[in-house]
Amino acid sequence: MYRAPVREVRFVLEELLGAQRLAASGALGDYSNELAQSVLEEAARFAENVLEPLNRPGDVQGARWTENGVVTAPGFREAYQQFVAGGWPALGAATEFGGQHTPRVLNSAVGEFWGSANLAFKLGPMLTHGAVHALELCGSPAQKRTFLPPMVRGEWTGTMVLTEPQAGSDLGQVRTRAVAAGDHYRLFGQKIFITWGDHDLTSNTIHMVLGRVEGAPPGVKGISLFIVPKVLVGADGSLGARNEVRCLSIERKLGIHASPTCVLAFGEKEGAVAYLVGEPGRGLEYMFIMMNSARLSVGSEGYAVGERAYQRALEWARTRVQGKPRTAPGPVTIIQHPDVRRMLLTMKSQTEAARALTLYGAFQFDLAEYDASEQVRTAARARGELLTPIIKGWCTESGNEVAAIGLQVHGGMGYIEETGAAQYVRDVRITTIYEGTTGIQSNDLIGRKLARDRGAAMSALLAEMERDLGAIAGSDATLETVRKSALEAVGLLARATRSLLESLASEPQRALAVSVPYLKLCGYVAGGWLLARSAAIAAGRLDGNEREFYAAKVRTAAFYAAQVLPTAAALARVVESGGASVIGTDPALL
């Protein structure tokens, strides 16, 4: 049974990040630790009592295509109605459109609970939130008045419609055609891999679609963004005729079976009515608002599924009786075996590190928007942008590893669907692919984020890590070991970064050949830094009422330092000297 880790999340928000400082902003004057706790507890109840019970049945029964549209798995319509009744679609949206103005870091924390309890369900509201955010920033006043209030209320959902059969991740190859028709356009084309592209949860779906105005130049500079409603909307906001948008099929997938992944046809006859967002040719720029928001959300999905896999593995290990250790008189529960405890600690520590890093990254964007100091805002934005590909790439790769370890804890029973462990392996697998594969994230990290300022934002982060770790003091031997291990890893990352920058300047292909190891190195080191900070906070609070909670924080950080963080040394070595083995290999030899 899933239990949302409310106390773990509160620790990150309140004690590690000090998110309550956001209340100093006039826009977030109502924010407090008490408000955040209330939101988290309500979200936990919904996740545990409504979403979790639908996860397994949704996996087994899945969404179903019909000629009249997609039918969602049993129980999903009722769950979505409760989701809307609880006001959850409004979380984080602008108040002028009916939203609840909450910081991104709290929204990210709540999203973890949805992702752990039922990833297939969570994806729909996530994409709606991204579409709302893009329209808030880029839509015209009329578009905002028409589309945002029903989306914020949850009456309509939103999608992100990018790729096509011939394009894949190369959006410069998008061919969907837009023909001017007075105050709107007519859209013609076919799109694939559209998550929640059709369903029976709401009366309308607002598709955010990439296409080309006739005569636009080839490549990404010719791409524009369009609003294409599933059902046409009148001037008074009422729903009219069905637009020329049709779901041709839904994909048969490895996992997330209850999330319909659609093939959509636009304009099979006269063309789908579409409304241009912003200026022509800036579609990819606008779409990246949605994509970057989604990348942080998908990063959280990686460790969210990992958290659920950990909880199930822990429950199994505490009840499954197998084997007789040398020190025990008879068979014991498998949690008594050292290697099983090692696996559980690996799952726990990597999940906690990923959670801390993701919420830290979301908090940077809050500081960038709300802090009173322009200097702080500028630095926080640069850091949040630097961390986005790391969060998306490393947290999803880590989530895949954690889910696989969870299956291993179950042994042979984990390979049997009835235990539930296998579903997490299947569901989380897509997270390393969504919104750009890990390779795309690592290319973004070194090709854009590092290259644009020659490593200045990374240098600032490394300097802060060193200062934080240098300030950890005390006589506790365990804490000192954690601090030294984290500090050593920061030094490895600094050296690897210098090496990578040299390769980027002299031989970019060599740098690209080690970009994924570099991204993972960044994740492991940043996770070690944040766990060391967490351990230092916890070590000072072992005499209170929550001694066991804080003691576990210290022990988890100690395990990460001893058995996870040493991975940084191997990755640093790859970054510094592994590129030649790739670029020196003729593709014909593969």
pLDDT band (50, 70, 90) for residue 463:
very high
pLDDT band (50, 70, 90) for residue 130:
very high
Strand partners, 175: none
Q: Which of 119-128, 399-408, 474-483, 500-509 comes out lowest in average pLDDT?
A: 474-483
Burial of 401 (0-12, 13-18, 19+ CB in 10 A): middle
Q: Give the start-to-end residue ranges of the domains of the chain.
A: 6-153, 157-286, 450-581
> Stretch 273-278: mean pLDDT, rounded?
98
> Stretch 252-270: mean pLDDT, rounded?
98
End-to-end CA distance of the chain: 46
Task: Look at residue 445 and tell me whether its pLDDT is greater than 80.
Answer: yes
pLDDT band (50, 70, 90) for residue 157:
very high
% the chain with pLDDT above 70: 100
| Full DSSP string of 484-543 | HHHHHHHHHHHHHHHHHHHHHHH-HHHHHTTHHHHHHHHHHHHHHHHHHHHHHHHHTTTT
pLDDT for the residue 288: 85
pLDDT tens track for 186-230: 999 999 999 999 999 999 999 999 999 999 999 989 999 999 999
Based on the residue annotation, tell me whether 435 is a catalytic residue of this protein.
Answer: yes
Active-site pick, 164, 301, 435, 576:
435
> Stretch 441-467: mean pLDDT, rounded?
96
CA–CA distances in Å: residue 146 to residues 120, 139, 240: 28, 10, 14
pLDDT for the residue 171: 84
pLDDT tens track for 529-576: 999 999 999 999 999 899 999 999 999 999 999 999 999 999 999 999
Task: Look at residue 146 and tell me whether its pLDDT is greater than 80.
Answer: yes
Task: Look at residue 293 and tell me whether its pLDDT is greater than 90.
Answer: no
pLDDT for the residue 424: 98
> Rounded to whole angstroms, how far apart are CA atoms 432 and 55?
21
Which H or E run includes 247?
Answer: strand 245-250
- Secondary structure percentages of the chain, helix, strand, coil, to 5: 65, 15, 25
Q: HSE-up of 183 (CA within 13 Å, CB side)?
A: 3
> Rounded to whole angstroms, how far apart are CA atoms 588 and 590?
6
Q: Is the pTM of this model over 0.75?
A: yes
pLDDT tens track for 4-45: 999 999 999 999 999 999 999 888 989 999 999 999 999 999
Burial of 341 (0-12, 13-18, 19+ CB in 10 A): middle
| Phi, psi of 247, rounded to the nearest 5 degrees | -85, 115
pLDDT tens track for 333-349: 999 999 999 999 999 99
The DSSP letter of residue 219 is S
pLDDT for the residue 96: 95
CATH 1.10.540.10 fits 6-153, yes or no: yes
| Full DSSP string of 20-33 | GGGGGSGGGTT--H
CATH 2.60.120.650 fits 157-286, yes or no: no
Compute the mean pLDDT over every residue in the chain, rounded to the nearest whole number: 96
pLDDT tens track for 35-71: 999 999 999 999 999 999 999 999 999 999 999 999 9
Task: Look at residue 289 and tell me whether its pLDDT is greater than 90.
Answer: no
> Rounded to whole angstroms, how far apart are CA atoms 562 and 481?
9
Q: Which of 162-171, 279-288, 434-443, 449-458 comes out lowest in average pLDDT?
A: 162-171
pLDDT band (50, 70, 90) for residue 302:
very high
pLDDT for the residue 325: 76
Helices (H) and strands (E) in the chain, counts: 20, 12
pLDDT for the residue 230: 98
